[in-house]
Amino acid sequence: MNKKRRGRCVIFHHQEFNEGNGDYREGSQYDVEKIYKAFEKELRFEITVYENLKFFDLCEKIKELSKEEDHSDADCICIFILSHGGFNGTIHARDVSYPFSVIWKPFLECRTLVGKPKLFFVQACRGRTTDQGNMGRHATDSTDAMYTIPTHADFLFGYSTVDDHYAFRDLKAGTWYIDSLCRVIRTHWREYDLTKMLTETSRTVALYYTSSSNNPALDKKKQIPTFTSTLTRQLYFTPKD
C-alpha cells in the first residue's frame, strides 16, 4: 500500500425503489455516514456516493470505473453496495434486480488494478431465512518486476450475512454489519490486517446484536457476516500523509 493515493471508494446507495422492487430502506443513510468516517477520514479513500441508480446507470458507472479510469497511482479500489438483496446473490437497483457478478466481474480486466486489492462489501439480504442462534426496531436488509498472476487473484468480498439469510437494519442507527465494520476499522486499522478486522466484525455482530421486532418471525434473531478472499498477501492500510 505504497502508492500515491489510497484509491476510490464508491458507494452504490439504494434507499428508494420503484414500486414492486423493494421497500424504502429507512436508516440506510446512517451507513453512508459511517463509511465516510471510517474509509475517508481514517483510511483516506476518495469517496463517491451514487444514490438510487437504475440498473443501466449503475452499469455505466461500473464501466467507467473498470475500463475507463486509470488506477495506476492507487493502492486499491473499494466498492460498497447498500441495498435489498435476494436468493443466489441478487441485488436490487432502483428498477430491477441483478446478479452481483455485474458489479465485480468487469474488474477482472482492469489492467491498472492488476496485483492490487479489489474490495467489495455488500450490505443486503441474501434470502429469507432467519438465524435463531444458540443459546429498538429492526428491518431486513513494492516491486517493478513484471509477473503473471491468476485473473481472479486479489479480490475480497465482504457480505453482511451468510447465503440465504436476512441481514438486519436498525431504523434509527443503520445496519448491524456496516456499523460493526466501520467501528472495527476506526479502532484497529493501524494494527490489524483487513481479514483480521473482518473476523472481528463477524464476532461483534454475532455476539452483540439481537433483533427486536413486533413480528415474531423477525424477533430475537441473530446474524453472522461472512467474507471470501483471494488476496495474495496480508492487507494492511499503511497511513497516508
User: Distance of CA 200 to CAs 15, 27, 45, 176, 206, Å?
Assistant: 27, 23, 22, 13, 10
- Cell 441473530 locates to 222
Choosing from 9, 76, 78, 125, the catalytic residue is 125
Active-site residue 84, yes or no?
Answer: yes
CA–CA separation, 140 and 130 (whole Å) = 10
Phi, psi of 156 (to 5 degrees): -135, 130
Choosing from 84, 92, 138, 165, the catalytic residue is 84
The letter for the amino acid at 35 is: I
CA–CA separation, 240 and 212 (whole Å) = 41
Contact status, residue 102 vs residue 90, Cβ threshold 8 Å: no
Cβ-count burial 67-101 (b if 16+ within 10 Å, e if not): eeeebeebbbbbbbbbbbbbeebbbbbbbebbebe
The letter for the amino acid at 106 is: P
Residue numbers annotated as active site: 84, 125
